[in-house]
Amino acid sequence: MRMLVFFDLPVKTKAERRSATAFRNFLLKDGYHMVQYSVYARVCNGMDAVKKHENRLNTVLPANGSIRLLVITEKQYESIRILIGELVEEEQFSKDDQLSVF
């Protein structure tokens, strides 16, 4: 499964910029990768992991702005089509090739 986080955060004041940067840094440290400006994705192994990371997101939400969370399957994520441009090097390595050990 993939978690997609979409956000629009205000950055007019120094405090708002600091808050937006802290949120973005949290996403990167928590295993998300940037798909596009203000769109980040993370691989999760099942709904339990999704719930865990959703709770983690709720603890760092900025006071202002708009944040959306969308959970989709790997099959749905693989159907993304790039209409202009090319895959960047980071996107080529973001495919879900991880091994699940039980």
Q: Where are the domains of the chain?
A: 2-92
**How many helices and strands, by DSSP H and E, does the chain display?**
4, 4
As averages over each run of 10 residues, the pLDDT of the chain (102 residues) reads: 95 94 96 93 95 95 93 92 76 55 48
pLDDT of residue 96: 54
Residue 30's CB is within 10 A of a number of other CB atoms, namely 15
pLDDT of residue 91: 64
Read off the pTM: 0.80
Does 3.30.70.240 match the CATH number of domain 2-92?
Answer: yes
| Inter-residue contact 37 to 25 (CB < 8 Å) | no
pLDDT of residue 85: 75
What span, in angstroms and rounded, lies between the C-alpha atoms of 17 and 99?
38
pLDDT of residue 83: 87
Residue 87's CB is within 10 A of a number of other CB atoms, namely 10
CA dist list (Å): 47 to 17, 39, 66, 76, 94: 32, 21, 23, 16, 20
